[in-house]
Structure 1
Amino acid sequence: MPDNRGGLIRPRTAAGHYARLLSPNVLSAARVGLERDVTMRANRIANAVRVARRPGHTRMRGLIASPGGALRWRAVPSPAPPGPLGALVRPIAVATCDADRAMMLGRSIFPLPLHLGHEAVAEVVQIGAEVSGVRVGDRVVVPFQISCGQCTACRRGHTANCLSVPPTSMYGFGLSGGLWGGALADLMAVPFADAMLVGLPAGLAPTAATGVADNICDAYRQIAPHLPGLLAADPDTQVLLVGRIDDKDPLTSATVLFAALFARALGATHISVVDARPAFQERAAALGFQTLDPRHPRDWPVAALTVDATGTPAGLRNVLRHTAPDGICTCVWSMHRRGNIPLQAGYMRNLTLHIGRSHIRSHIPDVLDLMVTGRFQPELVTTNEASFDDAPAALREHCYGDALKTILTTQ
């Protein structure tokens, strides 16, 4: 059993992990993936299983997380040559997501074992006959959600709900994501290269841009759609970002710091952040943000723009109480079936509450533009870096230490 150096919780055993997957919250979440076109999802998974079992199929390395905190490079099926619209890419930098620690410890809703990694910058190594937007050798951001770019959802910018693939199709989430593989591998298959891949601008380091594939764009959508209008009405607009309120919570809170950096980049001067972990508080203070005690919510400001990243119904209710009249609250990473939301108070105060996932691909160009100009520097949140070869040890350090964001590279 791994040690508990950072004071964080231990990994679940296989028995504990699989028993937890039968809880009402997990079963409710699983049903979401079956709400549309069950046949499409079943066919996708069946095809992935057939490929994995095919005799003589070429193999590559992939980093697999198993119950009990086991992290190992294993031989996994190599992707097939790309179809006309697809591409093969070689990951060169992969970042941990805020959910990865919980997944690696078997303390998430996602069944183990699974192929890890979904925040990646990669090099294009092969393209299909109809691909025109990228070329072999290009460095690209690979959004973690699979999207075709052509369906009605994608044309509206709702790329997280692409209609050409099963719901919640994602890299790095194993069975729950549709078995699309993971970014911690020698190769990744991208089914819709022109729609998904975004070229890395010259001068941006791959290690800085890895999180753009998920957490960074998630943070951007929490702030950018709302803050400019609020600041135009009141330059002293308060922004309150509330992360995990339990210092033993397995999810990290890098996204909260990214959101604070976006708020600053877009002009906010009154930014408060809340999270129970000392490492988070130290990094937030070093970045110049006001850090508040999660145990004393009465000291939190009432803010026109709030973000609930607590992951609990009680946390959401608390954040809503600190959302100003006519204010906006974005709730992220809440996987509970019910939240007992104070509807009457929200109605009387004209609150706007947004609950849902980010449409990552739609936000990538705007985020990269902010990085090119130097207004947004996500590398300020990175705490650990290591090579692919050292990935198992580096990810164990991420799980049992105080890391916020770990970057793994092939260089």
Structure 2
Amino acid sequence: MAGNRAVAYQGPGRVEVRDIDYPSFTLQDGPGVNPANVGRELPHAAILKVVTTNICGSDQHMVRGRTTAPEGLVLGHEITGEVVETGPGVEFIKEGDLVSVPFNIACGRCRNCKEGATGICLNVNPDRPGSAYGYVDMGGWVGGQAEYVLVPYADWNLLKFPDKDRAMEKILDLTMLSDIFPTGFHGAVSAGTGVGSTVYVAGAGPVGLAAAASAQLLGAAVVIVGDLQEERLQQARSFGCETVDVSKGDPKDQIEQILGVPEVDCGVDAVGFEARGHGAGAAQEAPATVLNSLMDLTRAGGGIGIPGLYVTGDPGGVDEAAKEGSLSLRLGLGWAKSHYFITGQCPVMKYHRGLMQAILHDRVQIAKAVNATVVSLDEAPEAYAEFDSGVARKYVIDPHGLVA
């Protein structure tokens, strides 16, 4: 049997590469595993040799110590891999298939899955609807920043690429299908983006850049991206976005300079609960800032998509309310303007096949938009530190040296 190594959370600010067990078709106990899931038999699962696995901003929240993640938790929910073994209940996925893994773990059998809401599957997390690999309070499924990983309900969850050689040529684009491309797309779609829309995306991290590229793909007339980091704003401009530096003041005023009016049709929150203030308050964490700002600058009747992460437990919250995910929102303003809001995990399966086709047929270059940067598994701790500094990169881990 092959060995296995993975990236594990070791406490605030620390990750390390360590030896872990090779996957088996029984869910084992370990850091973060829900006791009700221990011993769960998985004949419907597949074991993958990981080809690429990405570092996500959601991982960074845990590594900063801003969640209740336990030490030793194996990280990684953005996974692309080659099937090396299947359980006796797997019928259609075969050994040798190159596949994308949605970060949502879904059974395909419950009411929510059957209705397409795979981000809130009822059968994979004993604590609450919804699950993901290598993530706090998500049932304890082992993360994929590893050499090998197990994927349950393989026939349902896995997206097989139709041509392995062609897929490997575009692997840096296709690796984004596990999370950030569908998540950014979901944010743009949820906000109502269409042909001719004006769109403001708060946050120029990888999800924000993916949302901006998605808005362009959907036909937006103007896409404006706001952030505090000039390097990230430069990355947004590199593929045709307008930008605003929110450290210089209210984005609404800067949007008026671009559009001639101080509002947009659609707003996307790609920042989440670690938001900071605008202008003179940019140095201070203010978790409701982005949501309140979006209500202010989105036109009456417009939509706000919220792919940015909000949590129910934040030990580092700025006050007692924020520590349990309670924020001071101007909901009255949103009500008065008849806004609608869509939040929660992106249901990746709703989008990933279509986005795969857009990549394979050269309709979008998502890896270029997010500045995909390949590192080895051993370089992952350094990549985490660099990502935390605000660099404009999307780190792609290549555990087996398979990426050209």
2:254 corresponds to: 299
Contact 2:295 2:333 in 1 (8 A): no
Q: Is 1:214–2:179 an aligned residue pair? A: yes
- Post-superposition Cα deviations, 1:155-181, rounded to whole Å, max 9, x if no partner, equal 1011111111113421121x4222211
Q: Is 1:186–2:154 an aligned residue pair? A: no
Match of 2:6 among 62, 73, 84: 62
2:122 corresponds to: 163
2:371 corresponds to: 382
2:82 corresponds to: 123
**Separation (CA, whole Å) in 1 of partners of 2:303 and 2:85:** 44
**Separation (CA, whole Å) in 2 of partners of 1:362 and 1:266:** 15
Output the TM-score relative to the length of structure 2.
0.78
**Separation (CA, whole Å) in 2 of partners of 1:241 and 1:334:** 17
1:278 corresponds to: 230
Question: How far did 1:401 drift?
Answer: 6.2
Contact 2:172 2:372 in 1 (8 A): no
1:9-408 matches, cutoff 5 A: 60-81=4-25, 83-166=42-125, 167=128, 168-173=130-135, 175-202=136-163, 203-204=166-167, 205-224=170-189, 227=192, 230-231=194-195, 235=196, 237-243=197-203, 253-294=205-246, 295-297=249-251, 298-300=253-255, 301-311=262-272, 312-331=287-306, 332-335=308-311, 336=322, 337-380=325-368, 381-400=370-389, 402-408=391-397
CA RMSD of aligned residues (A): 2.2
Q: Kindly, what percent of the aligned residue pairs are identical?
A: 27
Structure 2, unaligned stretches of length 5 or more? 27-41, 256-261, 273-286, 312-321
Question: How far did 1:68 drift?
Answer: 4.5
Question: How far did 1:206 drift?
Answer: 2.4
1:23 corresponds to: none
Distance 1:213 1:179, change over 3 A: same
Deviates more, 1:355-364 or 1:256-265: 355-364
**Separation (CA, whole Å) in 2 of partners of 1:150 and 1:325:** 39
Question: How far did 1:388 drift?
Answer: 2.4
Higher helix proportion (structure 1 or 2): 1
- Post-superposition Cα deviations, 1:268-301, rounded to whole Å, max 9, x if no partner, equal 1211110111221111112221001212322224
Question: How far did 1:122 drift?
Answer: 0.4
* One-letter identity of the residue aligned with 2:360: V
Question: How far did 1:78 drift?
Answer: 1.9
3-state SS in 2 of match to 1:144: coil
Question: How far did 1:81 drift?
Answer: 3.8
Output the TM-score relative to the length of structure 1.
0.77
1:49 corresponds to: none
* One-letter identity of the residue aligned with 1:97: C
Contact 1:260 1:273 in 2 (8 A): yes
Distance 1:361 1:137, change over 3 A: same
Question: How far did 1:402 drift?
Answer: 1.4
Contact 1:106 1:112 in 2 (8 A): no
- Post-superposition Cα deviations, 1:339-375, rounded to whole Å, max 9, x if no partner, equal 3433443333221122222112322112212212222
Question: How far did 1:218 drift?
Answer: 0.7
Distance 1:239 1:157, change over 3 A: same
Contact 1:85 1:191 in 2 (8 A): yes
3-state SS in 2 of match to 1:115: coil
1:248 corresponds to: none
**Separation (CA, whole Å) in 2 of partners of 1:291 and 1:73:** 37
Deviates more, 1:82-91 or 1:120-129: 82-91
- Post-superposition Cα deviations, 1:227-264, rounded to whole Å, max 9, x if no partner, equal 46x53xxx3x2111112xxxxxxxx7111111111111
Question: How far did 1:154 drift?
Answer: 0.3
Structure 1, unaligned stretches of length 5 or more? 1-56, 244-251
Question: How far did 1:183 drift?
Answer: 0.8
Contact 1:382 1:407 in 2 (8 A): no
Contact 1:275 1:281 in 2 (8 A): yes
3-state SS in 2 of match to 1:341: coil
**Separation (CA, whole Å) in 1 of partners of 2:64 and 2:336:** 42
Contact 1:314 1:339 in 2 (8 A): no
Contact 2:201 2:269 in 1 (8 A): yes
